[in-house]
Every structure is written in C-alpha cells, then in structure tokens.
Chain A
Amino acid sequence: MDLWVGIFVTIGLGAIVFLALKVGNLMSLETKPSYRLEASFDNIGGLKLRAPVKAAGVIVGRVESVRLDPKTYEAVVTLRMDDGYQFSKDTIAQILTSGLLGEVYIGLEAGGDPAMLADGQRVAKTQSAVVIEKLISQFLFDKASSGPTPSTGPNAK
C-alpha cells in the first residue's frame, strides 16, 4: 500500500512539474545549442515572447526578450537562434503575421553577404510590424486630401 501511495504521489507531483514546464512557461526545457541575435524595430506590433523566428517558413529560433531602447525609443528584440542555422550579415528581419488573425512572428530573409552574423550581433536591416489602424488612417487621409471626384460622388450634378 505504501508503494502505491508513493507511486501516486510521485506521478501526481510529476504531473504538476509537467504542467509547469511543458504546458506553462516556467522554464524552457529546450537544451538545443543556440546563439543570440538582436534586432531593433520601430514598432513590434503584437509580437510576443517565444514567438517563432522563421526563415522561408521554417522555424529557426524563438523570441527571447523584448525591451525598449531608452535613447532611440526603438524596440530591441533578442532572438535565440538554433545553432545549426547561420545567417548572412545583410539579412532582413521583418515582423509578419500569419493570416489576418494569426500569430505574429519574425521572418528572416537571407541576403548574399558571405560574412555571417555571430552571437550577440545585431540584424541591421529590419522592417516593422504593419499596424492596421495606421494603414486605415493613412488610407482615409489620402482619400480626404485628394478630394471628392465629381463623377463618382453622390453630389455630382
């Protein structure tokens, strides 16, 4: 009986640890060798921690941390990249969304520079997230400034 209770308590505690590590986000269990890159963006939109970093659609890393640079007021994103993938120095980092409502991720577009980015280096070329509200207001502003066209408006007589 003691044995069964011991087994029960062990797997019960094991379940809590599983919830903490695998389901919750207490600590990353991944021990894959990795290196870090930084990239600064004007606006990261809805980018979240642990969001995937993709190159050609393949996940090559995860977002590790996001902070605001107090001098430039740019968001500095730290990427944890799998060691197996190297990227050239002129790689472009973009913040993209999968689908209209899908998750936000960082897309890397490799360049042609033979020199590769090393641990701790910064991706120089970045493209910020597209904020839909800004797009809409820009669109409306353009419409207003171009004025009503006499042939299509309802008051065109």
Chain B
Amino acid sequence: MRAIARAGFATRFFLAVLYHSPAAFHRLQLTVREIYFAGVLSLVVIMVSGLFVGMVLGLQGYDALNKYGAGDSLGIFVGLSLVRELGPVVAGLLFASRAGSAVTAEIGLMKTTEQLSAMEMMAVDPLARIVAPRFWGGVISMPLLAALFSVMGVFGAYLVGVRLIGVDSGTFWGNMRAGIEFWPDVTNGIIKSTVFGIAVSLIAVFEGYDANPTAEGVSAATTRTVVGGSLAILALDFVLTVFMFRGLGTV
C-alpha cells in the first residue's frame, strides 16, 4: 500500500517537475551549474572506464572471434556492443552512482536542514529553484556522456586490436562502418541514453525530495538512488531493446 502511494507521489512529483521545467531554462545559469556537476565532473570516470571497457572488449572479442577465423570482424563486434548496449548502460550505471547519489544527498540534506522549507517561506518554489535544474542537468548530460563512453571504448578497442594485436586498421574501421548504421544503431543508443538520463535523474531528485529528514534517512535515500537507478537502467534497457528489435523486424 505504501509502495503504491509512493508511486503515485512519484508520478505527481514528475509532472510537477515537468511543469516547473521552463523555470530551469528561464534561469539557465542554474541548469548550467548542474550540467557542470553532473556532466563535467563525471567526464574523467566515464572516459577512463570507457577506455578500459573498450580495451577489454578488444582483447576478449579478438580471442573469441579468432577461434572462428573471424578476427577481422573485431571492429563491428566492438562497435555494435558499445553503441547499442554498453555505452548507454555502463555510462548510465556510472552516472547513477557518480552524479545521481550526489544529487540525492544534496537535496536530502537541504531538506534535513530545512533549507527547502525556508525557500517555501520566502515564496521560492524549491521544485523550480532546486529540483528542476538538477533534473535537466542530468537529462542533458547523460546522452553526451554515453556517446563519449562509446567513443573512448572504440578508441580503446582500436588501441588493443590494431596497435597491439595487429588487426588491419582499414579492416577494423571498414567493417565497423559496414556493419553499423547511423539509423537505427547510433540513434537507438542515443534514445536509450536519453531515457536512462530521464529515469536516473528523476529517481535521484525524487529520492532526495522524499528522504526522511534525518541523517539515516538521507543515507538510505542515497542507497535507494543507486540501487533503484541501476535496476531501472537494466530493466529499461531490456524493454527498450525488445521494442527496438521489434521495430527492426529481426525478432
């Protein structure tokens, strides 16, 4: 019963955030600040992870493909798995733990120290001043981070596959380009990362806003953001993938 009530509150909260969204773009400076915290400060972890994931994919993929004499297909294997799945999903998981948890803790602590109530007293709507900019900061950052993750992954696979193992550079890029289309592969990745950005940002601001105003409440809310956000990403990924492949007519 409590869970259903929470779901109802979350829906109402989401609509309220959307309603107050114009304020976030009206005072763009607030949103830019959140893009800095959510996006720019996540750059290092996203790019380094992307590089390593790509390098591992290069090694493992080459090892597996080469058993069938298909080592030349490394480019398409790495490119497809990064652009379609790993880029959006792993970048989303990192984003949930790196930026989502920070947003929840920040809003939760604001609630605990009654800064949100103080704002309401001053006739400043905390949804417009605090929540909406953080929500849109996350939604805008996420697709960019996922794209950067994919690019770094492809670069990592290039380093391992071409420079280290010795797959022909032209074959690597040629196969990748022959097998991956902008529409639907790259656009599907962008759609996925945007949806993940909306889900994670909504969960982060909601958990912060809904946190019990105690130290334990904030810590529990932060945990819920990371766990719930990660599960939401994986579940949504499955649902989106099913729809996308249905759309392609391949299942």
Query: A residues near B, CB below 8 A?
Result: 1-2, 4-5, 7-9, 11-13, 15-16, 18-20, 22-26, 48-52, 59, 98-103
B190 with A16: CB separation less than 8 A: yes
B147 with A51: CB separation less than 8 A: no
Please give, as numbers and ranges, the residues of chain A lying within 8 Å of B182 by CB-CB distance: 19-20, 24-26
Please give, as numbers and ranges, the residues of chain B lying within 8 Å of A99 by CB-CB distance: 69
List the 9 closest pairs (A to B, CB-CB), nearest first: A12-B144, A26-B182, A24-B182, A15-B147, A24-B186, A15-B151, A8-B40, A16-B147, A15-B148
Please give, as numbers and ranges, the residues of chain A lying within 8 Å of B180 by CB-CB distance: 23-25
A19 with B177: CB separation less than 8 A: no
Nearest-Cβ distance from residue A54 to partner chain B, whole angstroms? 11
- Kindly specify which of B13-21, B30-38, B202-210 makes contact with the partner chain: B30-38
Bound-complex Cα distance A12 to B147 (A): 7
What is the size, in residues, of chain B's interface with A at 8 Å between Cβ atoms?
Answer: 38
B35 with A8: CB separation less than 8 A: yes
A48 with B79: CB separation less than 8 A: no
| Contact of A19 with B144 at beta-carbon distance under 8 Å, contacts A5-B40, A24-B181, A102-B69 already known | no
Bound-complex Cα distance A49 to B177 (A): 10
Please give, as numbers and ranges, the residues of chain A lying within 8 Å of B183 by CB-CB distance: 26
User: Could you show 26 A-B contacts with beta carbons less than 8 Å apart?
Assistant: A1-B32, A1-B36, A5-B39, A8-B144, A9-B140, A12-B39, A12-B143, A15-B150, A16-B144, A16-B186, A18-B147, A19-B147, A23-B83, A23-B154, A23-B176, A24-B182, A24-B185, A26-B182, A26-B186, A49-B178, A50-B177, A50-B178, A98-B72, A101-B68, A102-B70, A102-B72
Query: B residues near A, CB below 8 A?
Result: 32-33, 35-36, 39-40, 43, 68-70, 72, 79, 83, 140-141, 143-145, 147-148, 150-151, 154, 170, 173-178, 180-183, 185-186, 189-190
